[in-house]
Amino acid sequence: MHVTIVYVHVKPEHLEAFITLTRANHEGSVREPGNLRFDILQSADDPTRFVFYEAYVDAAAAQAHRETAHYLAWRDAVADWMVEPRQGIRYTGLWPEIPPAS
């Protein structure tokens, strides 16, 4: 399992628009063939901070996500709304195990 945890800090004046566009990206992402999870978390202490938990069956599926129209539209629209560049950290998911494709 290919997991990326993305940290995002949004400028307060763009918060509502960011949430709206992020929901559209989420809805497209969870329908991708290789997607296992695409969770969007908002900090309870600072609503301008988000964590995305993106899990795909493999690196190829994660790469395919970065080539979708919904992701590219989101990326381009929100780029200037961030306090700092988003940070994505990649992980290898150990559990739950994904059964091999048959």
Residues 6+ apart with CB under 8 A from 8: 49, 50, 51, 52, 82, 86
Cα 63–64–66 angle (5° rounding)?
65
Residue 102 pLDDT: 59
Mean pLDDT, consecutive 10-residue segments, the chain of 102 residues? 96 98 98 96 98 96 97 97 97 84 62
Residue 101 pLDDT: 65
Domain at 2-92, CATH from 3.30.830.10, 3.30.70.100, 3.40.50.12140, 3.40.50.150? 3.30.70.100
